[in-house]
Structures are given as C-alpha cells and as structure tokens.
Amino acid sequence: MMIHETDKTVKEYFDTWLKYYKFPNIKATSYDVLERTVEKHIYPSLGDTLMIKVEPIELRKLLNVMQNNGYSYSMRKKVYDALKACFKFAVIQYDMERSPMLGIDPPVNDEIEEIYVYDEKEIKQIIREATKTYRNGSYVYFNGPAFVLILHTGLRCGEVLGLKWSDYDPKNQCIKVRSDVEYIEERNEDLEKTGKQIAIRQNTPKSKSSIREIHLNNTANSIIQMLYTRQKKMKIDSEYILCTKNGKFVTPGSFRKSFGKIVDNTNVQRAGIHALRHTFATQMYHKGVEVKKISAILGHSSVKITYDTYIHLWKGALDTATDVLDETFKLDDNFGMKS
C-alpha cells in the first residue's frame, strides 16, 4: 500500500489520535493523564511542527531537557510512551513511512521512590483517632474505620471506595477487587474539558492484575460487618460498602480530607492515604510473608514492581537474611585453627 504522507502538524495529528483512537479504548483516568502529558510536554516544543518533519534529534532533545530539568522517570516515560505510540500509529495508518522514535531508547529508571511508612507507634495513634466515638457510640469520623481496613488489606484509596456489597463474600471471608473510584475531567460531547472534575466509579481498576480476591483477616472482616450493621441500623440503602449518609459512594477528595483531619489530630506526619498501603506491605514483609504473595495482594502487575518500590526499605532485613544458614551449613569448630 502506498504511503500518503500526512500534512498535519504534531498537534493536529495527536489531537485526532487522542479523541478518536485513544479515548474509546482506555479508561477515563488514563485518558486524562495521557492528554495532560501531551498538552504539557509535547505540544509546547513540537506542536507546530509537521509530523513528517519531526527528526529523531528533536525527540532526543525533548527527553534530555526533561531529565535535565528534574522531571521524574515516571513523567519522562509517559512522554516517551505517548510519542512512540502516536508515531507508530501514523506508520500503521500509512501516514508516515518511518517513525522518528526508532532507535530512541526509553528513559532509564535510576530513581528511588520516596515513600513514607508509618511505624507501630504512629499506627496506634492513627487507629485510635480513626475509631474514636462519641458518647452515643457513633464514630467521630463517619468512615474512619475504613483507614484501618486499608492497613489490613493494602487496598488503594480508589479501590476501597469502589467496593460494593456484591464484592463481599462473608462465608469465605474475602473481598473481590474489581472497580475503583477516581476523579476525571468533565467533558462535553466534543470531548473538550469543561474545567470541572467529577468522581466516577470505574468498572475496571488500575490494571488486569488489580482485579483480585483478598482474604480478610478477622479485623478487616469485623470492620465490614460493622459497616453493614450500621447501614441497616441507619436505614441507609446503598450498594457500596463505604458510603455517605445518603448512600452514595464516597469521593476521593472527601476521603482524603477525612484522613487529613485524623492525622492532624495526632502526632503523626501527614503522608497521605497511600502511606497506609506502604505500611501494610512493609509490615507483611517483616512478618515473613513472601514478596510474591505481597505483590499479588497489592495487585502489582509483577513482583519486580514490588521489589523496585520497597527494596530500599527492606534492605535491612535483606542484609541479615543469610544469617539463617549459619547453623544449617555450619563449619567444623576447628576451622581456621590449622592455618
């Protein structure tokens, strides 16, 4: 088939690719991230350039400038992936003969992610504050116990907010994670942003590996049972395990705001809800749970992601890991005496 070289600029071509080929095929949250990435990092330097005139050196320069300006590996990888995907699409559509991204290697991840893990003293303070009640027994923070649930399951913020009663199996004491709640850009029928954000429940969570079944320990199960009993007592008709007093799902913003209040009323550092997930993973590791199992519970797409995220935190335990073999592979007591 003959190549019909496009006469569109990078902005014109990327706009078409985004709206008509990406929007129908990826999650709304993923689309928002991709669109922001293109608008902020690709259009300013390449937007007015014709697609067929883009040279590899320009793309290398763009990625190098981002690195020199201190952009994270994650952001640089998003830009690289967007460029590679769109130019590859143009070649497949016979709009270009060759992608200028050929031969350009992806960014190298040489960063150590800075994450915060609560120690046991801090966790006790959080649990005490999150489960504080008034004299009548009702919780000061309506969904406060949900933060303790995260500590016992490692769920992401959006995942715990997306849980429905149909996801709960009380007989086998487990929960199925198959949706989440996130903020997305509100758009008109032409897919143009209105300037507002809305919270939606997505039927699929972060990735395929995020769809999983998690066993509930007795503490986690008792929290869900309490939430069920409370909904019945308050005559709240909701399909969501966590809900507002009128039965609707809890938005990420209000959930984070509630956690912020809890932390502010303790001596604990403000580190965000995700720190509870990091704390869960770290405690599991120190209690002897295999990394492969921790990775599956967290819903990571590979064990490598788990290692890359936490290896610098778990290094102390790894440093002494071989000590367990001292007795098993013990040398003769007189070893070295004859030298």
pTM of the model: 0.77
Cβ–Cβ under 8 Å, residues 182 and 170: no
Going from the N-terminus, what domains does the chain have, and what CATH number goes with each? 10-92 (1.10.150.130), 120-319 (1.10.443.10)
Residue 219 CB coordination number (10 Å): 14
Instruction: Name the amino acid, one letter, at 238.
Output: S
Residue 272: count of CB within 10 angstroms of its CB? 16
26 within 8 A of 34, measured Cβ to Cβ: yes
21, 63 contact by CB (below 8 A): no
Please compute Rg for the chain using Cα positions: 25
Q: What are phi and psi of 191, to 5 degrees?
A: 70, 15
Three-class SS state of 3: coil
Largest CA distance in the chain: 86
d(CA 297, CA 155): 8
Pick the closest to residue 33 from 20, 49, 22, 44 (CA basis). Answer: 22
Q: Which residues partner with 169 through β-bridges?
A: 174
Q: How far apart are CA 175 and CA 165, in angstroms?
A: 9
In order of 117, 123, 124, 126, 262, the CA distances from 267 in angstroms are 15, 11, 11, 9, 10
- Quick check: helix, strand or coil at residue 186? strand
Give me the pLDDT at residue 321, please: 61
Confidence at residue 173, expressed as pLDDT on a 0 to 100 scale: 96
Mean pLDDT split into 10-residue runs, the chain, 339 residues? 86 97 92 96 97 96 94 94 97 95 89 83 96 94 96 95 95 93 86 86 68 94 96 95 93 94 93 94 91 93 88 68 67 62
